Structure 1
Amino acid sequence: MKINASKNLFMLIMMLSTIMTMSSNNMLMTWIALEINMISIMPILTKSKKSTDQPMKYFIIQSTSSSLMLMSIMLNSITEESPTSSIILMTSMLMKMGMMPFHLWFPPLMNKMTWENCLILSTIQKIPPTIIMTQMMNIKTMLIPMAISSFMGPISALKQLSMKKIMAYSSISNSTWLISSLYLSKQMFLMFFLTYSTLTMMMMSKMNKNNILYMNQVTTMSYMKKLSLSITMLSMSGMPPLLGFLPKWMILQNLIKFSTILPMMMILSSILATFIYIKMTNPMMTNLTMMKKTKKEKKSKNYETIINLLGIPMMMTLKCL
């Protein structure tokens, strides 16, 4: 989708509604900010030529979760109880984020959308529900869905061939890391979110430039592009000493003080994600490139490899400190 004035306007409204969610101290104002966020993203999804009925599916899911959130607000105001253990509120936020067991709409929706919209759904749209859950919910209430999402996300991605569905299940698994980081501290959340958004943006932009939708299409890329894509995949799974390992390592160090089961599930999910990406990179790097020898390829600088290798000096700096 081309960048125009209307898209910039809706993106600005979406960012402002996210800031409203972060700054509001009233549950009703938070609900209004979420509604504004949903209204602003709908035109961005509708303008895509590839998406036909997907924006309507997204609207139905988000409006249902908003209705559940409003119902939980009303019930809590009637009973005058704290929303920290409200199952209805937790269900609405899990539906908004697409976390398990309310995840069935998320991978098929991302599979039909453009890479730009997939990036928006995987990064920016994760912020408001994460903030609401960490501010209003107790970590003990969120423990079971977080553990299920972190472990079952990579397992569900094992049998997938579509790159968009693999990225969707990766987003479901990383949502647990996102919520855990904000439970610990705002600085850790900011570091993990920026790292995850950078890696996701690099990976999706590489797929978009090379028009890759399925795993077997990666063989048409050149060797250096395959190498940079493989390093980005391994960095997303948390392979040391790449960039994605550093925030996950810091989250696990602090999270193990509060819980033991959740860090174990998160470590197992990272191992499974690493296995998936290695399974993808094995035929990618061992097979010959399916390109004509007469075709001259334009030389491109692979900034992705350099950015991913920044994890080494960052780890050394923290070790010295």
Structure 2
Amino acid sequence: MFNNSNSTKILFMMILISGLLITASSSSWVGAWMGLEINLLSFIPLMSDSNNIFTTEAALKYFLIQALASSSLLFIILSKSILESMFSFIHSSMTSIIIAAPLLMKMGAAPLHWWFPGVMEGLSWMNCFILMTIQKIAPLILISYSINFNQFMTSIVIMSILIGTIGGYNQISLRKILTYSSINHMGWMLTAMMLSENLWFLYFLIYTLLTLSVISIIAPTQMSFVNQTYSINVDSKIIKLMMYSALLSLGGLPPFLGFLPKWIIIQQMIINWSTTIIIIMVVMSLTTLYYYLRITYSSMIMLSSEINWTSTLIEINSLNMVLALLMTLLSTTGLTISPMFFNMF
């Protein structure tokens, strides 16, 4: 039923999920660290691809950075356990800062994001989706255990939003645009985590759905750069429209679904009188929308072309098309179900 390659990938994917579950359900920091290591060592084989010469470099970069973060986390865990009490920490602001640093490096939040764009450039689109979503779950869960609304986390949030906005401003690679978008969303997600546990979970769920929506459209077309979207043929204009709807939803443009979690965060921050931070976040979010709109406007109106020799390049099978249509429909109309979420927070 499966060839050797698919069977191996299914096995490593199951191990990756099991490592995530071990981390999420662990009652000790050492157990959580073990889950992170299982998760890391199962993702490295998934990154390899004989048809792409850049995967080896990306896998090596990812392994070195994750190994550095994991060893730092283990050293901190053992040191704190010995100095304070065995396998339990005295909760303090300094403890949360020390624990958060290697976890922020693991998930690529600014200013510990330098490895993220380089690794993303060497991966297939499916592996990009795993790196941007599934691989962030375990570090986010561990950070949520000890996060506080302090100066350190506020600076991390502001830096993530600023770097995620400015870094993606002049990019032509779709992978790097999604990378810096992910860094920007990390800032919003950490803010949601400081406000409510349910809120960051909702934000992450919607972010995952929107990222899947974008990648389910881009991956079958094998596009990697912005200029490749300009010459999509006349028969695939629906694909172009779907892709830009998903991108604008990912950027948080009303009335798309991506606006819902940002809307709730803005309301909660105003209630908590954190107006300065939320003004910075909203302005940077609008700047992020600018370069999504710039791509959309250029491709749909100014630089739209129909070239004869590209008329048969875009072929998507029916299953991928149904998935892309379903995810796009969810991202464009999902805001209509928003009233049911308000009583959750």
TM-score w.r.t. length of structure 1: 0.91
Tell me how far apart the structure 1 counterparts of residues 269 and 343 of structure 2 sit (CA, whole Å).
Answer: 22
Superposed, which structure 2 residues align to 1:13-32 within 5 Å? Answer: 13-32=15-34
**3-state SS of 2:230 partner:** helix
Q: Which of 70, 88, 108 is equivalent to 2:98?
A: 88
Select 2:297's aligned residue among 265, 272, 282.
282
User: What letter corresponds to residue 45 of structure 2 in structure 1?
Assistant: P
Q: Please tell me whether the aligned partners of residues 150 and 172 of structure 1 are also in contact (alpha carbons under 8 angstroms).
A: yes
Q: CA deviation at 1:149?
A: 0.2
Q: Which runs of 5+ in 2 are unaligned?
A: 85-89
- 1:99 matches 2:98: no
Structure 2 CA distance, aligned partners of 1:36 and 1:231?
37
The one-letter code of the counterpart of 1:17 is: G
Q: Distance in 1 between matches of 2:68 and 2:339?
A: 47
Aligned counterpart in structure 2 of residue 148 of structure 1, from 159, 173, 187: 159
Superposed, which structure 2 residues align to 1:160-239 within 5 Å? 160-221=171-232, 222-239=236-253
Q: Residue 145 and residue 225 in structure 1: after superposition, are their counterparts in 2 closer, same or farther (change >3 A)?
A: same
Cα distance, 1:8–1:139 mapped onto 2, change above 3 Å? farther
2:59 matched to which residue of 1? 55
Q: Distance between the aligned counterparts of 1:275 and 1:55, measured in 2?
A: 32
Pairwise CA distance, 1:19: 1.7
**Superposed CA RMSD:** 2.5
1:294 CA drift (Å): 9.9
**Alignment correspondent of 2:39:** 37
In the alignment, what sits opposite 2:71? 67
Q: Cα 1:144–1:8, aligned 2, differ >3 Å: closer, same or farther?
A: same
Provide the rounded CA distance (Å) in 2 between the counterparts of 1:142 and 1:220. Answer: 43
Once residues 45 and 176 of structure 2 are traced to their aligned partners in structure 1, the CA distance between those partners, rounded to angstroms, is: 23
Q: 1:16 to 1:256 in 2, by over 3 A?
A: farther
Q: CA 1:166–1:85 in structure 2 vs 1: closer, same or farther (change >3 Å)? A: same
Alpha-carbon offset, residue 135 of structure 1: 0.6
Q: Aligned to 1:267, what secondary structure does the other structure show? A: helix
Residue type of the partner of 2:306? M
Q: Structure 2 counterpart of 1:238, which letter?
A: G
User: Structure 1 residues 216 and 284 mapped into 2: Cα distance closer, same or farther (>3 Å)?
Assistant: same
What corresponds to 1:157 in structure 2? 168
- SS in structure 2 opposite 1:290? coil
Q: Find the aligned partners of 2:213 and 2:257 in 1 and give their Cα distance.
A: 13
> Counterpart amino acid of 2:295?
M
2:259 is the counterpart of 1:245: yes
AA aligned opposite 2:37: E
Mapped contact 1:150–1:173 kept (Cα < 8 A): yes
Paired-residue identity, %: 33
8 Å contact kept, 1:107–1:168: yes
Q: What code does the residue aligned with 2:198 have?
A: Q
Structure 2 vs 1, CA of residues 126 and 298 (structure 1 numbering), >3 Å: closer, same or farther? closer
Measured after TM superposition, the shift of residue 152 of structure 1 is 1.7
Q: 1:254 aligned to 268, 293, 301, which one?
A: 268
Gaps (5+ residues) in structure 1? none
Q: CA deviation at 1:316?
A: 5.8
Shift of 1:166: 0.6
Q: Conserved in 2, the CA contact under 8 Å of 1:85 and 1:138?
A: no
Q: Is the aligned partner of 1:263 residue 2:265?
A: no
Distance in 2, Cα, partners of 1:113 & 1:224: 27
Please say if residues 97 and 126 of structure 1, whose CA atoms lie closer than 8 Å, have aligned partners that are also in contact.
yes
Q: What TM-score do the two structures reach when normalised by structure 2? A: 0.85
Q: Work out the CA distance in 1 between the residues paired with 2:71 and 2:315.
A: 52
Contact 1:83 1:137 in 2 (8 A): no
- Counterpart residue type for residue 281 of structure 1: T
Distance (whole Å) between structure 2 residues aligned to residue 315 and residue 255 of structure 1:
18
Query: Residue 224 and residue 132 in structure 1: after superposition, are their counterparts in 2 closer, same or farther (change >3 A)?
Result: same
Contact 1:68 1:89 (C-alpha < 8 Å) held by counterparts: no
* Compared CA separation, residues 85 and 256, structure 1 to 2 (3 A): farther
Aligned residue pairs total: 320
Partner of residue 129, structure 1 = 139
The aligned residue for residue 87 of structure 2 is: none
Counterpart code for 2:18 = L
Q: Displacement, 1:83?
A: 5.8
Is the CA contact (8 Å cut-off) linking 1:68 and 1:88 kept in structure 2? Answer: no
